[in-house]
Amino acid sequence: TNWKKGLLKTSSELFTLTYGALVTQLCKDYENDEDVNKQLDKMGYNIGVRLIEDFLARSNVGRCHDFRETADVIAKVAFKMYLGITPSITNWSPAGDEFSLILENNPLVDFVELPDNHSSLIYSNLLCGVLRGALEMVQMAVEAKFVQDTLKGDGVTEIRMRFIRRIEDNLPAGEE
């Protein structure tokens, strides 16, 4: 029914609105946008390191053997599960260590208009922290950053993902 749909939509709006309230608060707390971006990334990282456990428990996804498989899981399973969207994967680097996620409709930016005096603010930067934190827990050091954003007038929103290195399991000294 419409009423039920309305409720479902609202429970998703709770997250979007709460995120908006957080960004607004951080913009009050910090003098410049770069600090807000950093704080959002840090909070995202903390969420990501916890979210990966929820994800692995619910999705039955095993270990990825390469970065292409990782990209597929992120776009088709994880984004779908948590935000209800499926970004497309494009712009692979020849070495296969970089790709882009293109977000057609980013649910974080519903109801958002960036004021002119926040041109350096990366509104959805929490997402980059979440991606980095979650992947670090499965031994992948990556860099995630927004390179296009519809909030800033770009045609699409694009997150660039770069594989840095595989994190080796730390064995305690003397146990090789």
| Phi/psi at 161 (5° precision) | -110, 130
Cα–Cα distances (Å) from 125 to 37, 41, 68, 107, in that order, read 6, 6, 23, 13
When asked if residue 43 is in the footprint of another protein (CB under 8 A), the reply is yes
Question: Could you give the string, one character per residue 7-26, with x where binding to another protein holds by CB under 8 A and - elsewhere?
Answer: xxxxxxxxxxxxx-xx-xx-
Q: Could you say which of 1, 3, 116, 174 contacts another protein (CB under 8 A)? A: 3
**Interatomic CA distance for residues 166 and 176, integer angstroms:** 18
CB of 15 to another protein, least distance (A): 4
Q: Could you say which of 33, 36, 37, 51 contacts another protein (CB under 8 A)? A: 51
Question: Could you give the string, one character per residue 88-107, with x where binding to another protein holds by CB under 8 A and - elsewhere?
Answer: -------------------x
Contact assessment for residue 147 and residue 162, using Cβ atoms and an 8 Å cutoff:
no
**Interatomic CA distance for residues 103 and 86, integer angstroms:** 8
Which residues would be at the binding site for another protein (CB under 8 A)? Answer: 2-3, 6-19, 21-22, 24-25, 28-29, 39, 43, 46-47, 50-51, 54, 81-84, 107, 111, 126
